[in-house]
Structure 1
Amino acid sequence: MFRHQGKSRTLKHNLRIATVLSFVAGVVNVTGFLAFSQLTTNVTGHFALFITDVANFEFWSGTIFLLYIVSFLFGSFASSFLIEQYKANKKLNVFVIPALIECLILIGIALFSNIFQIDYPNLIICLLLFIMGMQNSFVTKISNTIVRTTHLTGLFTDLGIELSQLLFPETHKNRRQIKETIKLRVYIICFFFFGGIIGGFLYSGLDLKLNTLLFAACILLVSLFFDDIRFGIIKSKRKFNYRRKSKVKKRIKSKVIL
């Protein structure tokens, strides 16, 4: 699901990556909100608060919301930069790089909270927004702008449009494609919601606090590991089938010569 790109990418690949990453985003969003009372997967609310402070001439208090916005932006930039920088290397799965950075930051925040007291929560919020910007960027690039997993505003907008299109089969004849995109968006919304429930239960119910981020990191790492193993198996099968076909062709040629 992390390797297929362009025309080789199918609905199944997008569904797999959408469910994993939207679930992770749901966990991170709830954990960040319960820990710091701030949204950590999108910047819409932060932008509104920043504008409010500017309008009230409270420029200094609005600076922190500007930092939140810039952190998300920088995460998106960093992810895209890494992908563009290394995409020429065909042996390297470039989309794994930002995903691994996301895992490291999630693990680092959780471990840090166990060892030290968090005196600068705004720094942690910026880091969470940074990795969500990274995630949203690389999943957008890998899916050719079809999948976004860190916020739901655009998803509900697109879902409403596509549901209305189903009522007009005369003007929207590509019903199969519309149904596939609806299915994809429903999966993202459901797994974001499910991730939020699990994250809230782990944070409050089991009292894991910021250690809940370790769970999100594990989910992402397992999906990366599974994807790599699965790709290796498929690649080995293709090599085996190719060699077997080559041997069969050689046998046929030798028989023809005889």
Structure 2
Amino acid sequence: MFRHQGKSRTLTHNLRIAIILSFVAGIVNVTGFLAFKQLTTNVTGHFALFIDDVANFEFWKGTIYFLYIFSFLFGSFSSSFLIEKYRENKRLNVFALPTIIECLILITVGILSNFVAIKYPDLIICTLLFAMGLQNSFVTKISNAVVRTTHLTGLFTDLGIDISQLFFAKYNPKKEKLKSNIKLRIYIILFFFAGGLAGGFFYSKVNLKLNTLIIGAFILLISLFYDDFRYKLIKTRRKYHQKKKKSFKKKNNGLTFAKL
């Protein structure tokens, strides 16, 4: 699901990555909000607050919201930059780089919260927004802008449009594709919601606090290594079958030559 790109990418690949990443985003969203009372997966609310402070000439107060926005933007830029820089390296899964960085950020924040008193929560919020910028950027690139997992505003808009188009089937000959898009968006919304529930449960009920972020990181790492393991397994099987075919052909050619 992390490797397939372009025409080789199917609905199944998009569904798998959407389920995992939206679930992780839901965990980060709720954990960040419960810990700091700030949004840590999107910048829509931060932008509104930034504009409000600027309109009231409270420029210094608005700086923090600008930093939130910039952190998400910089995360998106960094993810895309890494993907483009290493795209020509055929041996490297370029989408693994931003995923691993995201995991490291979530694990670091979770572990440090156990040993260090958080005196600068804004710094942690910026870090989490950077991680979500990374995620949103690479999933957008890998799915050809079909999947977005860190916020729901655009998803609900697209879902509403797609559902309305079902009532005008004669104007939409690609009905199956339309149904696939609806299915994908519903899955993203549901698993974002499920991730939020899981995040709230582990943060409050189990009392893991910011350690809840580590759960999200492990989910990402498991899915990433599973994907690489599965890819290597398929590659090994293909090589084995190719060798088997070659040896079979040589054997047949040798028998034919002996008969002659």
Distance 2:255 2:11 in 1: 45
Distance 1:144 1:248 in 2: 42
Question: Which ranges in structure 1 are unaligned for 5 or more consecutive residues?
Answer: none
**1:240 offset after TM fit, Å?**
1.1
Distance 2:255 2:57 in 1: 89
**1:243 offset after TM fit, Å?**
1.3
Question: Which ranges in structure 2 are unaligned for 5 or more consecutive residues?
Answer: none
Equivalent in the alignment of 2:103 = 103
Q: What secondary structure, in the 3-state scheme, does the structure 1 residue paired with 2:226 have? A: helix
Equivalent in the alignment of 1:74 = 74
Q: Quick one: which amino acid aligns to residue 152 of structure 2? A: L
Equivalent in the alignment of 1:153 = 153
Residues 120-175 of structure 1 show CA distances to partners (whole Å, capped at 9, x for unaligned) of: 00000000000000000001111111110000000111111111111111110101
Equivalent in the alignment of 1:115 = 115
Q: What secondary structure, in the 3-state scheme, does the structure 1 residue paired with 2:173 have? A: coil
Q: Quick one: which amino acid aligns to residue 209 of structure 1? A: K
Q: What secondary structure, in the 3-state scheme, does the structure 2 residue paired with 1:147 have? A: coil
Q: Quick one: which amino acid aligns to residue 163 of structure 1? A: I
How many equivalent pairs are there?
258
Q: Quick one: which amino acid aligns to residue 221 of structure 2? A: L
**1:254 offset after TM fit, Å?**
3.1
Equivalent in the alignment of 2:84 = 84
TM-score, structure 1 normalization? 0.98
Q: What secondary structure, in the 3-state scheme, does the structure 2 residue paired with 1:151 have? A: coil
Equivalent in the alignment of 1:215 = 215
**1:255 offset after TM fit, Å?**
3.8
Equivalent in the alignment of 2:47 = 47
TM-score, structure 2 normalization? 0.97
Q: What secondary structure, in the 3-state scheme, does the structure 2 residue paired with 1:231 have? A: helix
**1:249 offset after TM fit, Å?**
2.4
Q: 2:164 aligned with 1:142, yes or no?
A: no
Instruction: Tell me how large the CA RMSD over aligned residues is.
Output: 0.9
Q: 2:33 aligned with 1:33, yes or no?
A: yes
Residues 210-238 of structure 1 show CA distances to partners (whole Å, capped at 9, x for unaligned) of: 01011111111111111111111111111
Distance 1:8 1:196 in 2: 32
Distance 1:179 1:250 in 2: 49
Q: What secondary structure, in the 3-state scheme, does the structure 2 residue paired with 1:173 have? A: coil
Q: 2:166 aligned with 1:166, yes or no?
A: yes
Equivalent in the alignment of 2:192 = 192
**1:256 offset after TM fit, Å?**
3.8
**1:241 offset after TM fit, Å?**
1.3
Distance 1:165 1:239 in 2: 46
Residues 20-73 of structure 1 show CA distances to partners (whole Å, capped at 9, x for unaligned) of: 000000000000000000000000000000011111111111110000000000
Distance 2:32 2:190 in 1: 19
Distance 1:241 1:168 in 2: 49
Q: Quick one: which amino acid aligns to residue 71 of structure 1? A: S
Distance 1:115 1:187 in 2: 37
